[in-house]
Amino acid sequence: MNFASIIYGLFFLITLGLVWGVKTNSMRLVMVVITSIFFYASWQIQYLPLMIGILFINFYLGRWMSNAIESDHNHSHSAVENWQWYRFLLLIVGVFSNICLLLGFKYTPFVLDILGNLYHRADLLNLGIEIKERVVVPLGISFFSFECIAYLIDIYRGAPSASSLLKFSAYKLFFPKLISGPITRYHSLSKQLHTLRPPNTDQVASGVWLIACGAFKKALLADNLGILVRLIFDNLHRAGSWDIQLATFAYGLQLYLDFSGYVDMARGSGLLLGLNLPENFQAPYFTTNIADFWRRWHITLGDWLRNYLYFPLGGSRHGLIRTSLNLCGVMIIAGVWHGAAWGFMIWGGLHGLALVCHRLTVGLSQQIPLIGHWWGTWTGKAIAWLLTQLVVFGSWIFFRLPDPKDSGWAISHLFFHSPDGQFDQKVYMETIGIDRTLVGLALVLLFTSMGLLNLARVNFKLDLHWSIKLLFSPLCFYLVWLFAPQGGLPYIYFDF
């Protein structure tokens, strides 16, 4: 049930009627749970019992940990120590269970492939191939598991557990965020879930506008970019250097528009159902350093990595070497989270190294004020922006081509390589309908438009009146209906 589809629109209208058609908050939560179950079943009904089972396990682990906290205040010192060990054991069981579930589905073939090559075991290689072909990874398992881990750690740190299974189920299964996030914490939504209120006029307009903009970004822009990217990367050995550079730039735009478009539709759906989901993007391609990029790209994942990995590992409190190791380690884990392939690890490692370089640059700028002043000039900012985006877009090659053979070939042919004699004619003129130069200009125009919109939003605090949002939303839907590719492309982050 694609968000940018008529079927989802009908489903969502029925959901709105069911949720706001009942009077009590508990019945509204029941309707949220029922419609969310139906939504997930429309994608993968075979994994529905698994997801509900994970939900139950994490809810009761949280309750037992919370009960142990309450018992701490009523027992002797020795009893309190025993309860602390009990809570720690429950935490380990919960985190280990969620990680094993994630590793089992996503990384078993990858591990078998490594072991098979390492020990020259054909049986392990064949088993890995067979599992990869036969076992479908549950949609949303990464986001689901990360939310559960965060929930248990927050309780261990002292936050209250969910007192109601219904409320926890509504949080975990809430369909707009179920499959591709944003990653949300239970305690940030619990107050909203406690009293679901119908949206006011401004919230309705904002919700509809977010859905319209998300559909425009995903179905119209990202999917058309995806056709270009697929044509070039699927014929990589026939493409020239300009084609690979163009595809890399287009893929960076496609990935952003695809994922941020999904999140816009998720947030818009949430607003119309009385829940304000967190933002996940804030113009990441217009940042001047890699640390700021990660504060504005996939914000909820970055927040999760900082709070549940980087800070517990010591953050930046134990010297430069330890800080550098923490940054690289966390980013490699971020890469592995995205997929079981060497390319994702390389992508994470490159971002880790870039963060280390940024940390060194900041330290040098503090010691030599002249350098710090130069980075603050317009020239310094322009060079910083260019270097940051070269790292970001260049590393997307490993993200799009996770097999090192393919990504290595693309990197080694980024410059001074001519395309196959018929490549331009087949890809650009016959399939897309315009030549390569115009395609490049169109991408530059799109990127420039994104920059101008961000400039207006940040510097001029531009926000449309609710009436204008409602007026232009149908236009967005109409343009999607006219110009979106037939059938559409799957969401990229569904694979992660």
Active site residues: 338
Q: What is the CA radius of gyration of the chain?
A: 24
Distances (CA, A) of 299 to 57, 281, 284, 291, 352: 27, 6, 10, 12, 17
The residue with tokens 């829940």 is 275
Amino acid present at 2? N
The residue with tokens 């997929």 is 339
At CA 228, angle to CA 225 and CA 234, rounded to 5?
130
Exposure class string for 51-65: b at 16+ Cβ within 10 A, else e: bbebbebbbebbbbb
Q: Residue 381 is encoded by which pair of tokens?
A: 């900012």
> DSSP letters of 265-280?
HHHHHHHHTT--PPP-
What gap in Å lies between CA 255 and CA 387, rounded to an integer? 20
What gap in Å lies between CA 151 and CA 129, rounded to an integer? 34
Give residue 315's region: left, alpha or beta (phi > 0; psi -120 to 50): left
Q: Name 307's Cβ contacts closer than 8 Å, sequence gap at least 6.
A: 150
CB 284 within 8 A of CB 302: no
What gap in Å lies between CA 94 and CA 20, rounded to an integer? 35
What gap in Å lies between CA 456 and CA 134, rounded to an integer? 49
What gap in Å lies between CA 391 and CA 355, rounded to an integer? 11
What gap in Å lies between CA 494 and CA 98, rounded to an integer? 19
What gap in Å lies between CA 256 and CA 392, rounded to an integer? 12
Report phi then psi at 266, rounded to 5. Answer: -65, -45
